[in-house]
């Protein structure tokens, strides 16, 4: 629409100014171009007209300042072509309009009760300091013990810390491992170290659940533009426990675009999860693909030497002397997560302090007897596959392959049988872990082993022995 097409005498009242504003929006689109209009001007709203002083509103401070600096004089000039009574144009930041719980629940596939439980400040906006979760001061690199199980992830973090720009081949950095192996410690240590070494750099550390919290909050309070601006303006983004990003595609869609925007603008992204990218089945394929482009580093359970280092470091922090026999006992018996190891140690130190007893090996055994009984290794399909492959002297790759040789097919059926008996995984999941298209193959394998064990005593003993090996008993 041209100026000539819409120009006509207009009385100086608010209703007509609203009409002018409606017409002017088409003019602005043609004058500045659709890209500029959509990015900066489309979100403006008419507020009032006070004797030729026009007030518009913008959704964020950033858009307000940009419009005032770059476009306001031309907006006034174009306005005056339509209404010569216009004297000035000013822009304010408007209070967000809230979106109902029902709209949020419907749009993002979240239970209504979960949306309503969010403790939102109805008049809050997304401020710079709010976009990052607080860091635990205990999680530093100085308190992080390094061994073969976590060296790759640690080294990758150090390379990021030593550079003021993303490291080629290391962006994004995706770190994965089981619960309690130190992923959160590493991410928070990196965030704290970058802030300390480079105070000018903007760092945001968020758990996946916190990302969802801010996202839903922004939707509910109609602050998505501010949310996007804030998140995409960081220099380093760290997201912990990616596997917990859930809901309909909208949450993951926004995460993907944020992820892409940061990478495209040479910002560093560090993400942690509990499994490798290709196993994140509930995560969008595009996110998994981009994770695989950068560095992928796994953290394995700590070995004996590293567990001893962790115990000794923790004792030093607690200013507690531990006998070598107690250190060795804890490192030998608590082989799961670092969290469990530190928890056991805290329990021993606290109880001895309360009872005013010296820490001893016998006392440690007594205090942890219930924990040690329950500290049996968790049986997984992967641990079963490894145990069966080692028992029959074949590779795991052969075990999960399509090869039908008897020396491979029978161990495969035994592994499927043990997976059915010793884990809570569904037949469909077991089939997937053995690279089978459907669960009927697993059903056949389980039935075959059950039938054979009833008539073949030697095979029955092998299966029982494998059960004991897998269960660690």
DSSP assignment string, 229-276:
HHHHT-SEEEEE-GGG--SSHHHHHHHHHHHHHHHHTT-EEEEEESS-
- Are 79 and 145 found together in one domain? no
Structural domain contains residue 466: yes
- Are 81 and 140 found together in one domain? no
Structural domain contains residue 17: yes
274 pLDDT exceeds 90?
A: no
Of 379, 380, 410, 418, nearest in space to 393 by CA = 410
pLDDT of residue 5: 40
pLDDT of residue 447: 92
Distance, CA of 429 to CA of 381 (rounded, Å): 10
- Are 368 and 410 found together in one domain? no
Q: What is the mean pLDDT of residues 433-458?
A: 90
Which of 374, 405, 429 is the endpoint of a domain? Answer: 374
Structural domain contains residue 102: no
CATH number at residue 328: 1.10.8.60
Cα 278 from chain centroid?
15
- Are 290 and 324 found together in one domain? no
Q: How far is CA 61 from CA 64, 98, 347, in A?
A: 5, 18, 51
Q: What is the mean pLDDT of residues 373-395?
A: 82
- Are 351 and 426 found together in one domain? no
Which of 281, 299, 317 is the endpoint of a domain? Answer: 299
404 pLDDT exceeds 90?
A: no
- Are 132 and 279 found together in one domain? yes
The predicted-structure confidence for 304-325, as pLDDT tens digits, reads as follows 888 898 999 888 888 888 888 8
Question: What is the overall mean pLDDT for the chain?
Answer: 81
In sequence order, the β-bridge partners of residue 270 are: 173, 238
262 pLDDT exceeds 70?
A: yes
Structural domain contains residue 106: no
Burial of 35 (0-12, 13-18, 19+ CB in 10 A): exposed
Structural domain contains residue 100: no
Would you call 14 helix, strand, or coil by DSSP? helix
CATH number at residue 183: 3.40.50.300
- Are 282 and 142 found together in one domain? yes
Q: How far is CA 418 from CA 423, 442, 459, in A?
A: 8, 11, 13
- Are 389 and 243 found together in one domain? no
The predicted-structure confidence for 75-121, as pLDDT tens digits, reads as follows 888 888 888 888 888 888 876 554 444 544 444 444 444 444 444 44
124 pLDDT exceeds 70?
A: no
- Are 405 and 318 found together in one domain? no
- Strands, E, within 29-182: which ranges? 45-50, 53-58, 88-93, 173-177
Structural domain contains residue 385: yes
Of 29, 45, 91, nearest in space to 66 by CA = 91
Preceding omega of 172 cis (within 30 degrees of 0): yes
CATH number at residue 37: 3.30.300.180
- Are 174 and 217 found together in one domain? yes
The predicted-structure confidence for 331-344, as pLDDT tens digits, reads as follows 888 877 888 888 88
Q: What is the mean pLDDT of residues 432-451?
A: 90
263 pLDDT exceeds 90?
A: no
pLDDT of residue 425: 85
CATH number at residue 420: 1.10.1750.10
Q: What is the pTM of this model?
A: 0.56
353 pLDDT exceeds 90?
A: no
pLDDT of residue 197: 92
Structural domain contains residue 105: no
387 pLDDT exceeds 50?
A: yes
Which of 374, 394, 421 is the endpoint of a domain? Answer: 374
191 pLDDT exceeds 80?
A: yes
Structural domain contains residue 109: no
Range with the poorest average pLDDT among 144-148, 182-186, 351-355: 351-355
- Are 84 and 220 found together in one domain? no
- Are 215 and 295 found together in one domain? yes
Q: How many Cβ atoms from other residues are within 10 Å of residue 40's Cβ?
A: 18
Q: How many domains does the chain have?
A: 4
For residue 197, what are its two tokens?
A: 């070494």
Domain range enclosing 228: 116-299
Of 211, 210, 82, 191, nearest in space to 135 by CA = 191
């Amino acid at each position: 629409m041209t100026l000539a097409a819409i120009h006509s005498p207009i009385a100086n009242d608010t209703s007509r100014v609203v009409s002018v504003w409606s017409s002017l929006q088409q003019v602005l689109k043609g004058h500045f171009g659709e890209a500029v209009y959509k990015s900066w001007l489309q979100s403006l709203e008419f507020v009032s007209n006070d004797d030729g002083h026009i007030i518009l509103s913008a959704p964020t401070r950033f858009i307000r300042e940009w419009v005032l600096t770059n476009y306001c004089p031309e907006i006034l000039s174009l306005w005056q072509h339509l209404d010569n009574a216009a004297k000035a144009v000013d822009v304010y930041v408007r209070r967000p309009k809230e979106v109902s719980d029902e709209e949020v629940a419907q749009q993002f596939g979240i239970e209504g009760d979960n949306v309503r439980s969010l403790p939102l400040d109805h008049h809050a906006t997304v401020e710079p300091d709010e976009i990052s979760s607080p860091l635990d001061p205990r999680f530093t690199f100085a308190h992080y013990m390094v061994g073969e199980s976590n060296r790759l992830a640690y080294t990758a973090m150090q390379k990021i810390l030593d550079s003021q720009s993303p490291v080629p081949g290391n962006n994004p950095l995706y770190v994965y491992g089981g619960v309690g192996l130190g992923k959160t410690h590493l991410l928070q240590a990196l965030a704290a170290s970058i802030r300390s070494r480079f105070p000018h750099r903007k760092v945001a550390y968020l758990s996946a659940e916190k990302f969802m919290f801010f996202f839903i909050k922004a939707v509910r309070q109609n602050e998505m533009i501010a949310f996007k601006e804030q998140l995409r303006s960081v220099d380093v983004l760290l997201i912990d426990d990616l596997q917990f990003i859930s809901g309909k595609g909208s949450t993951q869609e926004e995460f993907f675009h944020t992820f892409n925007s940061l990478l495209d603008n040479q910002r560093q992204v560090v993400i942690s999860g509990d499994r490798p990218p290709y196993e994140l089945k509930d995560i969008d394929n595009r996110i998994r693909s981009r994770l695989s482009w950068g560095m992928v580093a796994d953290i394995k359970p700590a070995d004996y030497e590293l567990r001893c280092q962790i115990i000794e470091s923790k004792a030093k922090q607690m200013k507690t002397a531990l006998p070598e026999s107690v250190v060795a006992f804890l490192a030998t018996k608590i082989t799961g997560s670092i969290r469990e190891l530190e928890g056991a140690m805290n329990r021993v130190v606290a109880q001895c302090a309360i009872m005013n007893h010296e820490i001893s090996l016998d006392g440690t055994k007594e205090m942890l007897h219930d924990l040690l009984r329950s500290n049996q290794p968790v049986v997984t399909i992967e641990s079963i596959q490894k145990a069966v492959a080692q028992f029959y002297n074949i590779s795991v790759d052969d075990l999960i392959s399509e090869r039908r040789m008897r020396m491979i097919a029978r161990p495969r059926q035994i592994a499927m049988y043990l997976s059915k008996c010793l884990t809570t995984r569904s037949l469909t999941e077991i089939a997937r872990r053995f690279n089978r298209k459907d669960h009927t193959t697993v059903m056949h394998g389980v039935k075959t082993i059950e039938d054979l064990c009833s008539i073949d005593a030697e095979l029955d003993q092998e299966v029982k022995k494998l059960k004991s090996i897998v269960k660690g008993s």
